[in-house]
Structure 1
Amino acid sequence: MSDSYKFPKDFLWGGAIAANQAEGAYLEDGKSVNVSDLNMYTDKVALHKKSNKGMTTDQIKYALEDKENYYPKRYGIDFYHTYKEDLRLLKEMGMNAFRTSISWSRVFPNGDDKEPNEKALIFYDNLIDEIISCGMEPLITLSHYEMPVLYTLEKHGWLNYDTIDAFVRFSLLVMERYKDKVKYWIPVNQINLIKKETYAHLGYPSDVVDNADNAKWQAMHHELVACAIIYEKAKVINPDFQIGVMNYHDYTYPATTEPETVLRSYQYNQHELVFSDILARGNYPGYILRYFNEHDIKVEMKQEDLDVLKRNTVDFVSFSYYYTSVIDKDSEKEYPNEYLSKNPWGWASDPVGLRLSLNMYYDRYQLPIIIAENGSGSIDELTADHKVHDDYRIDYFKDHLKQIEEAIKDGVEMIGYFPWGPIDIVSCSSSEMSKRYGFIYVDLDNLGQGSGNRYLKDSYYWYKEQIEKWKNQNS
């Protein structure tokens, strides 16, 4: 296997983080508490992950008032203060792109304030300028689990039709401000991940609804309409903006070749793609309308909502890719593939599945593709001389990059590749620091103890070599 990857000349070799997992400074310079700041660290599971039903009002208020337990995402890796040094390490690695989010709870602490928080905007001015000065193309996410908690309690997030206006206002404010600096935008991170991130994504307490399934789909409709309005109005700000849709991609194989099982797998994957279908094609597909009818789900859709979705479709599609799963005809949930190796959290590494997924997306939409996240959490050991010998991470990226190259040879139009957490950050799913993705080690433990120093892993130097080889091929 060659270690020299033949990617397009203008390919984006990036890295991706989220404000809520990295910045810290959770009440600094006017920021309010957001939905991710309620993730308590325990040795089992973050607070709002105890139930896919989300968080109740009482659970939210408990987390807001709790002084005894540790909430890692409130502190992150202190990127709010260390971003210059961190970005320079990524620049030295050779990365030419960087994805992060702009926290709604910094810019509008109450969600719909009359005026934005200027201190927050100055921070993002400086951050984006630093990204550019390091020779990296910014890719900005506008919603990445950062809705203000006060807004969720008072307005119930995306369940409220008025949230369309609030989010559009926030989005257009920052898009206008950075119209000459940022080209690539993702309005909503992992827009289809409503089965695992109900409160963090949709922003309403679970006890304010009677029918949980109906509420999810109604809230998602409002979010989809907001995305379409953003697409339309942002193109007036700058016609050259490239605005995409991003999925959480968990491709699911049929457990057997029994036709009913294959159909079950196909339908499962359809449902994972429904929101990209809507935003890339401009309408609700027939399979989801049938699902609504058969499950008595009644989504209120104004004609003007459907019209704006029809008029405005995305410029590119993107997705996160971590693992694949298996499902059988009677399964409610997917399960791990016995043929694949797994990390300590049970996530199955499947490089060939990435090639399959890239082909599937391109066949389906015929739009350029960005892999917005990819990686595998690992337990890293920092040696006495501050080294991390992570051959397992090198092997993981070797195999996945090879399959991306194969997909490009298949004819897939790729824009860029953004490994998740190029510097260690707090895990989204478990609020751990010990679940590490980065090429750069951050000396903090699960309770925020440590020096905070940054150390370069073996994978840092290996990945730097791959980018250098690619640059030499295209010089």
Structure 2
Amino acid sequence: MKKTKKEFPDTFLWGGGIAANQAEGAYDAAGKGLSIADFHAYQKSLSKDDRLEHATLSVSDKMFETNPNAYYPKRYGIDFYHRFKEDIQLFKELGLQCFRTSFNWTRIFPKGIEDVPNEEGLMFYDALIDTLLENGIEPVMTISHYEMPTYLVEAYGGWLSRKTIDAYETFCQVLFERYHKKVKYWITFNQINLLSFNSLGFKESQTSNILEATYQSVHHQFIAQAKAKKLAKAYGEDILLGTMLSDKIAHPATCKPEDVLFSYRKNQMEYLFGDVAMRGYYPGYAFRFFEENQLDISMTEEDAVLLQENTMDYLSFSYYYTKINDAEKNSFSPMDKSKNPYLKSSEWGWEIDPLGLRTALNQYYDRYQCPLFLTENGIGATDQISADGAIHDPYRIDYLKKHFEQMKEAIYDGVDLIGYCLWAPIDIVSCSSAEMAKRYGVIHVDLDNEGNGTLERRKKDSFYWYQQVIQTNGHELNDPQY
């Protein structure tokens, strides 16, 4: 009888992840165009309990007009564009074996439709990827991470149009050809199941049916993803292409059969994104959902063949918290704010559920029987600098320790988990609230919500703890110092 592993495999990749739009800055450098993220202004009035997983952007026709009285944090990030070499030295000291970031679409194709890419933009990623490799760190590159060119929104309605598929395919052709010998792990779309303006890129004024436009846009992303896989096949095993989900598999609110069935059906509409990517076809429950909601989604026979023949190599996902599904609310919205009374929450109202991670890992592996890559996980918190200059963050260590324990249990269950990316190894601008105060990093960046600060990097207690975890391949999760 074959025995399952009780520890992290020797090939396990310990890493960290960021997004270009939350870290790079240099929004107008070297020919870069403007992306959706560049218009996400910081709002002082935003509540900590705002659990929206997407950037809170206006979708008015004037949304791409810059307000001279507003501050746009994602235009400046943490100046990773100019400081990536020193930051990668810190990542090397931390022991990262892989590092996930994204190609900022507008740095390479400023409008998204150019015939020739911006060479200066590509040269930045040449230097970034080469520096990672020189320091023994495997690059994990996301192709599209909420950095759609604003031109594609204005001209086409983003993913509402098949023309955006062509733009994405051209983008992938350039990236694959240039980096297939340097980058093995690729992610097509960040959290493809978060159905927000940030990921889909159409305005309310560009459609008369928001829900229909949403799933039509999703279908076009599925087709673009399959076309990317078709391109990647030309490079053989040099490229492993994965899709990425935001884990939204929720618990039933109670054991009432109504709650159980409702939760199952709602969870299915989250599985949809993995089902199409990994299995290659739309399941019956999706067509029922479309019919019950009177959605007319345009799909062709050619689309069906493309999806079937070009499934992904692995599934990656983010995991931060879990929610509950209550049949009485009868809401299929992924932004349902139902609270689980059995769980504690972070400062920003996100439930802390390490056991839920083990459940998610098993569910995904049971469903797809493919390698899994946890490419986002962490806790946003307010950090304080002590009088001696140290940053003590036992809450972050506790959160990560409990999640790592459940990752190990899932591996013992038989799950093929190939790697982990901490979100984030360094403080960056928050995706959802465009603030710096919500800190995820094990490296502190001296920068506040209004953009004031020296940008000095400083190691937190969690830096040394995670360093030890990596050095022992997850065997030592305790440290007497903490």
- CA deviation after TM superposition for structure 1 residue 322, in Å: 0.3
- CA deviation after TM superposition for structure 1 residue 383, in Å: 2.1
Residue matched to 2:233:
235
In structure 2, the residue corresponding to 1:263 is in which secondary structure? Answer: helix
Q: TM-score, normalised by structure 1?
A: 0.95
Deviations 1:174-197 (A, max 9, x none): 111001000000010000000xxx
Contact 1:381 1:388 in 2 (8 A): yes
How does 1:208-227 map onto structure 2 within 5 Å? 208-227=206-225
Residue matched to 2:394:
391
Deviations 1:447-472 (A, max 9, x none): 11011000000000011111111289
Is 1:358 equivalent to 2:356 in the alignment?
A: no
How does 1:378-457 map onto structure 2 within 5 Å? 378-457=381-460
How does 1:86-165 map onto structure 2 within 5 Å? 86-165=87-166
- Measure the CA separation in 2 of the matches of 1:421 and 1:10: 21
- CA deviation after TM superposition for structure 1 residue 52, in Å: 9.6
Q: Percent identity?
A: 48
In structure 1, the residue corresponding to 2:454 is in which secondary structure? Answer: coil
How does 1:11-410 map onto structure 2 within 5 Å? 11-45=12-46, 55-61=58-64, 64-194=65-195, 198-331=196-329, 332=331, 333-410=336-413
- CA deviation after TM superposition for structure 1 residue 154, in Å: 1.3
- CA deviation after TM superposition for structure 1 residue 51, in Å: 10
Letter aligned with residue 301 of structure 1: M
- CA deviation after TM superposition for structure 1 residue 239, in Å: 3.5
In structure 1, the residue corresponding to 2:69 is in which secondary structure? Answer: coil
Contact 1:72 1:431 in 2 (8 A): yes
In structure 2, the residue corresponding to 1:428 is in which secondary structure? Answer: coil
- Measure the CA separation in 2 of the matches of 1:51 and 1:87: 28
Gap regions ≥5 residues in structure 1: none
- Measure the CA separation in 1 of the matches of 2:415 and 2:147: 33
- CA deviation after TM superposition for structure 1 residue 55, in Å: 3.6
- CA deviation after TM superposition for structure 1 residue 255, in Å: 1.0
Gap regions ≥5 residues in structure 2: 1-5, 477-482
- CA deviation after TM superposition for structure 1 residue 53, in Å: 10
Contact 2:243 2:314 in 1 (8 A): yes
- CA deviation after TM superposition for structure 1 residue 56, in Å: 3.0
- Measure the CA separation in 2 of the matches of 1:461 and 1:65: 41
- Measure the CA separation in 2 of the matches of 1:265 and 1:37: 36
Letter aligned with residue 83 of structure 2: T
**Compared CA separation, residues 471 and 193, structure 1 to 2 (3 A):** closer
Letter aligned with residue 470 of structure 1: N
Deviations 1:119-164 (A, max 9, x none): 0000000000011111111110000000111221112111111111
Contact 2:54 2:198 in 1 (8 A): no
- CA deviation after TM superposition for structure 1 residue 330, in Å: 1.8
In structure 2, the residue corresponding to 1:58 is in which secondary structure? Answer: coil
Letter aligned with residue 216 of structure 1: T
- Measure the CA separation in 1 of the matches of 2:303 and 2:365: 27
Contact 2:110 2:118 in 1 (8 A): yes
Contact 1:55 1:206 in 2 (8 A): no
Which sits farther off after the overlay, 322-331 or 182-191? Answer: 322-331
Contact 1:315 1:367 in 2 (8 A): yes
- Measure the CA separation in 2 of the matches of 1:386 and 1:67: 36
**Compared CA separation, residues 51 and 407, structure 1 to 2 (3 A):** closer
Deviations 1:193-224 (A, max 9, x none): 00xxx221111112111000000011111110
- CA deviation after TM superposition for structure 1 residue 294, in Å: 1.1
Which sits farther off after the overlay, 461-470 or 361-370? Answer: 461-470
Q: TM-score, normalised by structure 2?
A: 0.93
Residue matched to 2:3:
none
- CA deviation after TM superposition for structure 1 residue 334, in Å: 4.4
Deviations 1:215-264 (A, max 9, x none): 00111111100100110111103443111110010221111111010011
Contact 1:57 1:153 in 2 (8 A): no
CA RMSD of the aligned region, Å?
1.8
Contact 1:23 1:78 in 2 (8 A): yes
Deviations 1:432-461 (A, max 9, x none): 100000000000000110110000000000
- Measure the CA separation in 2 of the matches of 1:193 and 1:354: 19
Letter aligned with residue 82 of structure 1: R
- CA deviation after TM superposition for structure 1 residue 44, in Å: 2.9
